[in-house]
Homo-oligomer: A and B are copies of this chain.
Amino acid sequence: MPRTGRRPGNQDTREAILTAARTAFAERGFDGASIRQIATSAGVDPALVHHYFGPKDQLFLATMEAPMDPGQILPQVFEPGLDGVGERLVTAFLTVWDSPAGTAAAALLRSAMQHEWSARMLREFLVTQILRRATRALQLDPAEAPRRAALVASQMIGMAMMRYILKLEPLASMPPDDVVRNIAPTIQRYLADPLP
């Protein structure tokens, strides 16, 4: 067998870390899981976990095979503030789902509907990777932020379901700009208007 740059031993180690991390995140959630304890159950040094995957949120994204890194996308969505945030968020969301990463996103959503551990990972992803960034950058009232986030998620995930999975027309083949025009006002209200 020809030698390649990838050493099987390292691949096994990566897999062992991912398996341990998947269990830890699913059982304890993002905040409850620790790199140290994941390293212990994978039988490796904590430094090696960091060497392969970086900080905890990167390990979490690798574990759930996230199709994109919210840390790369969300700053430009949230940091300009509440004004126009609905339009920026829907645009960014469509950019991911209309790209090849959309296939992985759809697979993730399908899986979350079938398996409770996968649903929990998606909830943790929404809360720790998206909601926290929104709360901080948009200076949302922490007492209201979870409700605003759940409402936003209900409209965004529902739109993704209809457009990419159930393929209901005219949403399925609507140009992205038209989707933004139709959906963004709802997202804007959920994030910025007084809650009922």
Q: Do A119 and B167 touch across chains, with their CB atoms under 8 A apart?
A: yes
Instruction: Tell me whether A41 is interfacial, beta carbon within 8 Å.
Output: no
State the oligomeric state as a number of copies.
2
Alpha-carbon gap, A157 to B17, bound state (A): 36
Interface size, chain A (Cβ < 8 Å): 39
Alpha-carbon gap, A192 to B58, bound state (A): 44
Contacts of A84 in B (CB 8 A): none
Instruction: Tell me whether A185 is interfacial, beta carbon within 8 Å.
Output: yes
Q: Do A195 and B182 touch across chains, with their CB atoms under 8 A apart?
A: yes
Q: Do A168 and B155 touch across chains, with their CB atoms under 8 A apart?
A: no
Instruction: Tell me whether A23 is interfacial, beta carbon within 8 Å.
Output: no
Alpha-carbon gap, A143 to B66, bound state (A): 38
Alpha-carbon gap, A117 to B123, bound state (A): 29
30 contacts between A and B (CB under 8 A): A109-B113, A110-B114, A112-B166, A113-B113, A113-B161, A113-B165, A122-B166, A123-B166, A123-B167, A126-B168, A146-B169, A147-B170, A147-B182, A150-B168, A150-B169, A150-B171, A151-B182, A153-B158, A153-B162, A153-B168, A154-B159, A154-B162, A154-B163, A157-B158, A157-B161, A157-B166, A158-B158, A181-B196, A182-B195, A186-B189
